[in-house]
Structure 1
Amino acid sequence: MREAAKNVFVASRLPKRAGVSGWVATLAPRAPRPALSEAVSVDVAIIGGGFAGLSAAHRLSRLDSTVRVAVLEAGIISEGPAGANSGFIIDLPHEVSSDDFSGESEGKFRDSVLLQRSAIAFATELAAENGWGKELFDPCGRYSIAMSTEGDKHLEAYSLQLGKMGEAHRLLKGQEIEAVTGSGVFTSALFSPGTIIIQPAAYVRGVADCLKEPVRLFERTPALSFERSGDSWLVKTPKGSVLAGKIILANNGHAESFGFFRGRLLHVFTYASLTEEFDPARLGGERKWAATPALPMGTTVRRINTGGGDRILVRSRYSYNPGIEISDAAIRSAGRLHDSKFARRFPGLAGVDMQYRWGGAMALTRNHVPAFGEIERGVFAACGCNGLGASNSTAAGMAAAERVLGHDSELGRVYSRLAAPVLLPPQPLTTIGAKIHLAYREWQAGTE
């Protein structure tokens, strides 16, 4: 509960894992960094060790190699929402909203591209420095894929808008996309070459493991509260504490757990399933590709190859969960939908079962802006990913780090132009409206 008069902010809840991510399960177990067990003093404390928090830590150290940083991760790196991500660091918006492409929408498009390409540049630099292979970080681009007339029309319209912006892309017809996916059910696709495809759990582990002193990472160390202590902030954890000059909240929807952005964040979960390994000879096409849906809230599909064979990822279904947790029953229910979508898309893989199922939390705002900026003196938020965790959260973490150090950049100027998250309707209208809206958008996506 937030007590602003006393400058005390206490977590009302802690993050909970939503199933076992297949990305995590297919990696060797992680040996986590030690939990914080003493009192330490730093310049900046970062609450959250996902895309935003780890990117903020790196950006701080790049700008000032002497800055002392403590990153507090409630669980184990990669086992939170970042490791449940579908693994697209996208460089272009999924769609451009305005048919006539006014100056305002063009400006928003350019700003969005700048944010997302800043995230890609950051990730690309880390990949090059650390020699990450394509199994972790692959600049192979992505497909937006259709399997209906409505989807085809949407991709054609999007292609025209991208053309007006001078963005490289390519439209593929049915046989061309079948050569990629090995499935004849897809009717068209739009390929954009700038997206990076990652193994998200391996990626965030890699980003965490290349942090260097004086940046310290503490896993299994949830921040229970923080309070003003003179000119600094005292962050309390189960077995220790951090005295920090400044704080970056990089815990997405859980910023609300400390009392911030109340009534301004929509807590939405999306769900994924990953098949067991299958013989690659059973499915033609390329052995590695990644596709987002042609229509919003459709089905994301990825094919990945591992040492023992290939797997298919299916992501679909959205639910509104204001308590920021979901039940096993919700995961099973989404899994049944995934099974039908998988069977529809890959009839030649009959008998291949799903091995892992999980959910991932997102924090959305009504006006589609991040929950960002200095929210108390010396406390900076890099939250509200709006469903694009890998790209938006990375960019927000970088921009928050720059703001902490007073660094001016084009990225920071874009964030300074963004509006604040607007209030949601009062309850129960928000719950009713969110559930109806999600159900309608999924219905609208149809076969996609």
Structure 2
Amino acid sequence: MLPKRVERPALANAEKADVVIIGAGFAGLSAARRISELDPKLRVIILEAGVIGEGAAGRNSGFIIDLPHEVSSEDYGGDSSRKAKEDIIRSRRAIALATEVAMERGWGREIFDPCGRYSVAISEEGDRHLVSYAEQLKKIDEPYRLLNGSQIADITGTKAYASALFTPGTVMVQPAAYIRGLADSLHEPVEIFERSPVLSFETAGQGWLVRTPKGSVGTAKIILANNGHAESFGFFRGKLLHVFTFASITEEFNPGRLPGDRKWAATPALPMGTTVRRVPGAAGDRILIRSRYTYHPGQVAGEGTLVRAGAQHDKKFLARFPGLKDIKMEYRWGGPMAVTLNSVPAFGEVERNVFSACGCNGVGASNATAAGIAAAETVLGHTSELTEIFSRYDVPKSLPPQPFITIGAKAVLTFREWKAGAE
């Protein structure tokens, strides 16, 4: 949906850098930007295996969420208040960086929109979760607004939803445009090389030598910002669950066919329910549907998985927008995320002068951005509220051995999707 972009060249020579960042998604680009802020003289090289905006970051659904993701009072159990406040600090640091980029680039709301989000319920259980979550937000002095079925119908143009909860802090982005713009906001001595997958890195004197198919970089420090592919270099093996989620977006339709606001974004009341966005355009509007979670230890999801996810999207779409039953899906896609058993990031110094900002655990726009910022600060020895939060996380727990982890992961995902029901 974006114009074709001119790619950066691939690495083809022997280079030197102060820091090499592996991966040009939310984490890697945010880390580079933060390094430039703290020490603009450092030479930073970012190595991206593919093309910027075409990987998992560009396939994000565009929610930079400021509050704990799951709409459930269970998020606030135990040492709940401190955890919730730390999650909010972390996410709002990510939003602050994104806001700075948006202001620099002069983006309009079609790319960066601080519009907030709706959490929507279809079932009575979903209604209860929203009320419970609102009570918890009140305890930590976070603003919200509860809406009944009629009020959310006025916004979404559908009577499918029984209730909703609005929170104002979420920013919505066009993810591929955002990632492209974040990359373009970086300037010398930061340099990006695309189509430059890192094959290996090895010690070289007091530093490291990073190898790609046609070039190499000698560097003092490395930041791994490649999420699940940290395992490809031998780190966090047996500690990362590779989960794919999927989305479909409709062809453009006449906005007059669907009442309500032409632009809104909604996450489900129950975990693993259905995310929905209405996206306006000059030639018409589109509806995005995101749902379905599958486990793929090899970090590859086949075409059949996408077809099955798409069939589920069609059912979800029809249930919510029966008046648009003739509108077809134009695009379908999937994207991976790395999840840890104890829901902590795969973060920190994993080997001498090798730092990880991986294991996003979903909500990648928020979590990966914050991890990238914290990794940059850690690399440079800068202490902040964010680095203190990341320093307190436990290490990722080891997963059960195969085949038990595959059996268990698939069973848990299936059960949670069943539990979400119509949501």
Normalising to structure 2: TM-score of the pair?
0.99
The correspondence for 1:376, drawn from 343, 351, 354, is: 351
Query: Which residue number in structure 2 is paired with residue 36 of structure 1?
Result: 11
Query: Which residue number in structure 1 is paired with residue 36 of structure 2?
Result: 61
Query: Which residue number in structure 2 is paired with residue 5 of structure 1?
Result: none
Query: Which residue number in structure 2 is paired with residue 246 of structure 1?
Result: 221
Query: Which residue number in structure 2 is paired with residue 288 of structure 1?
Result: 263
Pairing of 1:422-437 with structure 2 (within 5 A): 422-437=397-412
Deviation at 1:98, TM superposition (A): 5.4
Deviation at 1:198, TM superposition (A): 0.3
Query: Which residue number in structure 2 is paired with residue 163 of structure 1?
Result: 138
Q: Helix, strand or coil for the counterpart of 1:290?
A: strand
> Is 1:226 aligned with 2:226?
no
The correspondence for 1:211, drawn from 186, 195, 199, is: 186
How far apart are the structure 2 equivalents of 1:442 and 1:100? 18
Query: Which residue number in structure 1 is paired with residue 129 of structure 2?
Result: 154
Q: Helix, strand or coil for the counterpart of 1:83?
A: coil
The superposition leaves residues 119-160 of structure 1 with CA deviations (integer Å, 9 ceiling, x where unpaired) of 001111111122111100000000101111111111010000
Q: Helix, strand or coil for the counterpart of 1:81?
A: coil
Moved over 4 A (4+): 96-103
Query: Which residue number in structure 2 is paired with residue 328 of structure 1?
Result: 303
> Is 1:276 aligned with 2:251?
yes
One-letter amino acid of the structure 1 residue matched with residue 153 of structure 2: E
Deviation at 1:103, TM superposition (A): 6.4
The superposition leaves residues 151-171 of structure 1 with CA deviations (integer Å, 9 ceiling, x where unpaired) of 111101000000111100111
How far apart are the structure 1 equivalents of 2:257 and 2:80? 45
Residues 131 and 164 (structure 1 numbering): CA distance in 2 closer, same or farther, change over 3 Å?
A: same
How far apart are the structure 1 equivalents of 2:250 and 2:217? 42
Q: Helix, strand or coil for the counterpart of 1:284?
A: coil
The superposition leaves residues 218-267 of structure 1 with CA deviations (integer Å, 9 ceiling, x where unpaired) of 01111010000011110000111011100000000000111100110000
> Is 1:202 aligned with 2:166?
no
> Is 1:90 aligned with 2:65?
yes
Pairing of 1:170-185 with structure 2 (within 5 A): 170-185=145-160
The correspondence for 1:302, drawn from 266, 277, 295, is: 277
Structure 2 gap ranges (5+):
none
One-letter amino acid of the structure 1 residue matched with residue 190 of structure 2: V
How far apart are the structure 2 equivalents of 1:103 and 1:376? 33
Residues 357 and 101 (structure 1 numbering): CA distance in 2 closer, same or farther, change over 3 Å?
A: closer
How far apart are the structure 1 equivalents of 2:76 and 2:211? 49
Identity across the alignment (%): 64
> Is 1:266 aligned with 2:237?
no
Deviation at 1:94, TM superposition (A): 2.3
Query: Which residue number in structure 2 is paired with residue 139 of structure 1?
Result: 114
Structure 1 gap ranges (5+):
1-25
Residues 101 and 392 (structure 1 numbering): CA distance in 2 closer, same or farther, change over 3 Å?
A: closer
8 Å CA contact 1:297, 1:317 repeated in 2: yes
Residues 59 and 282 (structure 1 numbering): CA distance in 2 closer, same or farther, change over 3 Å?
A: same
Normalising to structure 1: TM-score of the pair?
0.93
> Is 1:104 aligned with 2:50?
no
Q: Helix, strand or coil for the counterpart of 1:273?
A: strand
How far apart are the structure 1 equivalents of 2:69 and 2:24? 26
The superposition leaves residues 347-403 of structure 1 with CA deviations (integer Å, 9 ceiling, x where unpaired) of 111100000000010000000000000000000000000011000000000000001
Residues 429 and 102 (structure 1 numbering): CA distance in 2 closer, same or farther, change over 3 Å?
A: closer
Query: Which residue number in structure 1 is paired with residue 418 of structure 2?
Result: 443
Query: Which residue number in structure 1 is paired with residue 289 of structure 2?
Result: 314
Deviation at 1:99, TM superposition (A): 5.8
The superposition leaves residues 396-429 of structure 1 with CA deviations (integer Å, 9 ceiling, x where unpaired) of 0000000110001000000001111010111111
Size of the aligned set, in residue pairs, is 423
How far apart are the structure 2 equivalents of 1:149 and 1:102? 22
Deviation at 1:74, TM superposition (A): 0.5
